[in-house]
Amino acid sequence: MKESVISCPLSQLIEEVATFIAKLNNQSSSHIGYCGKQQQEILAYLQKELTDVPFERAFVLAFKEETLIGLIGFDADFEQKSAEVWGPFVEEDHQDQAIYLFKDMLQLIPPEVERLYMFPNKENETAITTAANFNFSKQSEQAILIMRRNDYSASQVSKLSFLTEQRNGEMIRLHNLAFPDTYYTGEEIINRINEHRKVFCYIKDDKLAGYIYVEVEPEFSEASIEFFAVDKSFRGQSIGTELLKGAVSWIFSFKEIDELQLCVNSTNNHAIRLYQKAGFKLSDELYFFQKKLKVPV
């Protein structure tokens, strides 16, 4: 039975929504890779980062009497013509609400969005079933690896230079070649660079041999390695190891950072071994799903 559903919730509910997501996203059985696990981090994202479609027009909530029992939403990116689905997050005794929530959320999707993405944990049966019910196709399997400060050794320090403007073109070409269909193009990465988002590069023979793009959020004690590539003509020379060491060293120079994470395709055994050798440990395994809402003309 469909419980009471609120589409376009009032902004006053945003803290309750963030608390609900944080509680469920810390459980592998309801974990979604797009969302954080700390209430304050989630709240800040909902308030500040949902720019193309704000919280009030992007979420659907289900209540039983006055208790929040489920929700779903999306983070739209009009430039990419896509949206990442947050959820469904549903209390264990109300899993049947997932399909109703998703149907109602679809009514909120603006015409600018042509593709939906889902990124559930492999143990999140509710989200996986929802993806199947709404004809999403599985694109890949991903692994999330983490490194905690306690696992970091100062002997890993490697001095790297930040990307300079004269190397922007090389970085853009390498990134777009290594990651042709991903969430940030090389140009977008360069536009994102600030004091907490950096691209490190490894120069050899006066050429960009590799780069690594990292982000830190000291406010939430979190950090991530987003992209990492070595030019194929320079592989097998431990350049990837040096890039990784340099990035990790910079990340842990922020005293607020206790943990960093990265995401890698589960079939990329070489990369996974490299990360594990550096001290990373497997945290979660996820599925990446896509649904096309419109067929390009």
pLDDT of residue 155: 59
- CA proximity to 287, closest of 75, 109, 127: 127
CATH 1.10.10.60, domain 4-135, yes or no: no
As a whole number, mean pLDDT of residues 41-69 equals: 95
Residue 242 pLDDT exceeds 60: yes
Phi, psi dihedral angles at 225 (to 5 degrees): -95, 115
DSSP-based three-state secondary structure for 209: strand
As a whole number, mean pLDDT of residues 222-241 equals: 91
As a whole number, mean pLDDT of residues 124-153 equals: 94
pLDDT of residue 156: 57
pLDDT of residue 113: 97
Q: Which residues contact 32 (CB under 8 A, 6 or more apart)?
A: 25, 85, 86, 87, 89, 118, 119, 120, 121, 124, 127
Q: Is 283 exposed, middle or buried (0-12, 13-18, 19+ CB in 10 A)?
A: middle
DSSP-assigned letters across all residues of 28-40: GGG-BTTS-SSHH
Q: Which residues contact 132 (CB under 8 A, 6 or more apart)?
A: none
pLDDT of residue 180: 87
Residues carrying CATH 3.40.630.30, the chain: 4-135, 146-286
Give the pLDDT band of residue 69 (cuts 50, 70, 90): very high
What is the pTM (predicted TM-score) of this model? 0.83
Exposure b/e, 25-54, CB count within 10 A at least 16 = b: beeeebbbbbbbbbbebbbbbbeeebebbe
- 250-294 confidence digits (pLDDT tens): 999 999 999 898 989 999 898 899 899 888 999 999 999 999 997
As a whole number, mean pLDDT of residues 48-77 equals: 95
Contact 249, 157 (CB under 8 A): yes
pLDDT of residue 181: 77
Residue 119 pLDDT exceeds 60: yes
pLDDT of residue 297: 47
Residue 153 pLDDT exceeds 80: no
Residue 5 pLDDT exceeds 80: no
Question: In Å, how far are 6, 158, 192 from 88, measured between CA atoms?
Answer: 14, 42, 29
pLDDT of residue 3: 65
The average confidence (pLDDT) of the chain is 92
Tokens of 285: 């395994």
pLDDT of residue 158: 64
Handedness of CA 246, 177, 36, 146 (dihedral sign): negative
- CA proximity to 43, closest of 70, 71, 22, 64: 22
CB atoms within 10 A of CB 226: 18
CA gap 178, 264 in Å, rounded: 13
Max Cα separation, the chain? 68
pLDDT of residue 295: 57
pLDDT of residue 6: 76
Residue 199 pLDDT exceeds 70: yes
At the top level of CATH, which class does the domain 146-286 belong to?
Answer: alpha beta
